[in-house]
Amino acid sequence: MNNQTITRADLSQAVYEQVGLSRNESADLVETVLAEICKALQKGEMVKISSFGTFQVRSKRQRIGRNPKTGEEVPILPRRVLTFRASNVLKERINNEKHAED
């Protein structure tokens, strides 16, 4: 399995190569898409990308947790967490790719 990380620069390069925009326009396009996703999530909206997945912000209530070393009870403050649920199409693509490599 390859441990490469895809970066914004990699996404911009892919847009540049496949769409034909200039490098600057490609970078701006990637930044705009990511900024729109961030804005929607900050407002608490769900972001659903067809054939890819759904990003959602969930609110968690305060609860009591334990320090695993000492066993001491500690309050875990209320917070918002980001969740991602992959679409069935993405899951199938990942599983088919994995089996093709074996």
pLDDT tens column, 59-79 = 999 999 999 999 999 999 999
Beta bridge partners of 82: 57
Q: Which of 11, 89, 97 is nearest to 50 (CA)?
A: 89
Number of H helices, E strands in the chain: 3, 5
Q: Which of 62, 64, 56 is nearest to 79 (CA)?
A: 62
Angle formed at CA 53 by CA 32 and CA 58, multiple of 5 degrees? 85
Question: Mind listing the pLDDT tens digit for each residue in 4-58?
Answer: 999 999 999 999 999 989 999 999 999 999 999 999 999 999 999 999 999 999 9
pLDDT bracket for residue 98 (50, 70, 90): low
Q: What is the pTM of this model?
A: 0.76
Mean pLDDT of 75-86: 96
